[in-house]
């Protein structure tokens, strides 16, 4: 079982309740299961008022000049549905893995070229965000012959954490927990494999301050640090939904150009900014598919007086 995760009776009951809820979408035909997931996501949009408010506030801050209030509302509602479908597809990994023609449901943009870049470089770092179905990226990449290792934040419920980790690893990737992950990442890269990071979550006091979609956002610096240390390419990508059915486009972008001026602190911030810019470009391809309910731009005053945010240069929010 996962390290440092609680295993109380309450967690056990929560785990079995959620497993019971998953029985229907795991047993139902995939089109019906997807319909149920979309309905669940829409219901969550209406019920989870705090997350809905956060998502709508975020969308207003970032896209008020590009989309009307109604368009932002519809965008955020679909975002909730997309997240629900992502979890549905995750719990159906075993079904997807049995599909011999799984790849026919996917379009690819620069994926083969990116895999070749990784193999020639002896390893690569793939970065993405909570866009489309981020869980399917590794399933397809492993299937195409590139060993994969992904960093995941442990879930509060240890039983659920073990269950989700097992699902994720069923496709052949290796999951390492966020704390203490560096050793596993270095080992994977030195063996010629690939590692993956979701870099669009708030890093709070542990991040560096760079721009994301025009506004200051605390962002993890460890990806840039690892890229600078290991001298491997950093490839942005995302698995985007196409239409209303079970179809996807796995998009890869050209590698991020890593800055190396000799000033490690400045380079760390510059490279983190470039990675944020790449993920932003992916989000802007279809903003409906990004997880808007996360408090991405929250910055507490206390984070600016202690921790990495207080130590690293700030980027002025001039938007």
Tens digits of per-residue pLDDT, 10-54?
A: 888 988 988 888 888 888 888 899 999 999 999 999 999 999 999
C-alpha distances in Å from residue 304, one per residue of 79, 127, 208, 222, 311: 31, 26, 10, 19, 8
**Rounded-to-integer distance, Cα 173 and Cα 22, Å:** 23
- Roughly how many angstroms between the first and final C-alpha of the chain, as a whole number? 46
| 318 domain residue, yes or no | no
Q: Which two tokens stand for residue 30?
A: 């995939």
User: Could you give the 3-state DSSP secondary structure of residue 157?
Assistant: coil
What's the mean pLDDT when you consider all of the chain? 90
**Rounded-to-integer distance, Cα 86 and Cα 70, Å:** 25
Q: Is the dihedral of CA 266, 269, 274, 277 positive or negative?
A: negative
Q: For residue range 206-222, list pLDDT tens digits in order.
A: 899 999 999 999 999 99
pTM summary value: 0.91
Domain of 136 in residue numbering reads as 9-311
pLDDT class for 317, splitting at 50, 70, 90?
very low
| 3 domain residue, yes or no | no
| 125 domain residue, yes or no | yes
Q: Which helix (H) or strand (E) holds 239?
A: strand 234-241
| 51 domain residue, yes or no | yes
| 317 domain residue, yes or no | no
| 214 domain residue, yes or no | yes
**Rounded-to-integer distance, Cα 241 and Cα 203, Å:** 27
Number of neighbouring beta carbons within 10 Å of residue 296:
23
For the chain, what is the domain count?
1
| 87 domain residue, yes or no | yes
| 316 domain residue, yes or no | no
């Amino acid at each position: 079982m996962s390290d440092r995760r609680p295993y109380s009776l309450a967690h056990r009951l929560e785990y079995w309740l959620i497993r019971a809820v998953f029985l229907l979408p795991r047993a139902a035909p995939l089109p019906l299961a997807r319909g149920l997931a979309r309905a669940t996501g829409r219901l969550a949009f209406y019920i989870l008022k705090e997350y809905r408010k956060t998502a709508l506030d975020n969308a207003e801050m970032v896209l008020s000049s590009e989309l009307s209030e109604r368009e932002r509302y519809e965008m955020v509602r679909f975002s909730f549905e997309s997240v629900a479908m992502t979890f549905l597809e995750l719990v159906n990994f075993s079904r997807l893995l049995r599909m011999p023609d799984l790849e026919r449901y996917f379009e690819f943009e620069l994926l083969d070229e990116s895999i070749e870049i990784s193999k020639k470089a002896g390893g690569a770092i793939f970065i993405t965000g909570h866009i489309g179905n981020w869980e399917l990226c590794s399933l397809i990449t492993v299937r195409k012959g590139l060993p994969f290792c992904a960093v995941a934040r442990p879930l509060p419920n240890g039983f659920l954490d073990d269950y989700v980790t097992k699902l994720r690893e069923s496709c052949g990737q290796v999951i390492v927990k966020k704390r203490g992950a560096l050793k596993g990442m270095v080992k994977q890269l030195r063996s010629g494999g690939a590692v993956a990071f979701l870099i669009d979550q708030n890093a709070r006091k542990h991040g560096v301050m760079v721009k994301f979609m025009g506004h200051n956002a605390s962002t993890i610096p460890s990806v840039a640090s690892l890229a600078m240390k290991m001298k491997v390419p950093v490839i942005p990508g995302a698995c985007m939904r196409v239409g209303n059915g079970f179809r996807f486009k796995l998009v890869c972008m050209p590698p991020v150009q890593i800055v190396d001026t000799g000033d490690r602190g400045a380079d760390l911030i510059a490279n983190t900014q470039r990675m944020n810019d790449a993920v932003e470009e992916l989000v802007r391809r279809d903003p409906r598919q990004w997880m808007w309910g996360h408090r991405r731009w929250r910055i507490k005053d206390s984070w600016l007086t202690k921790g990495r945010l207080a130590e690293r240069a700030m980027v002025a929010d001039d938007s």
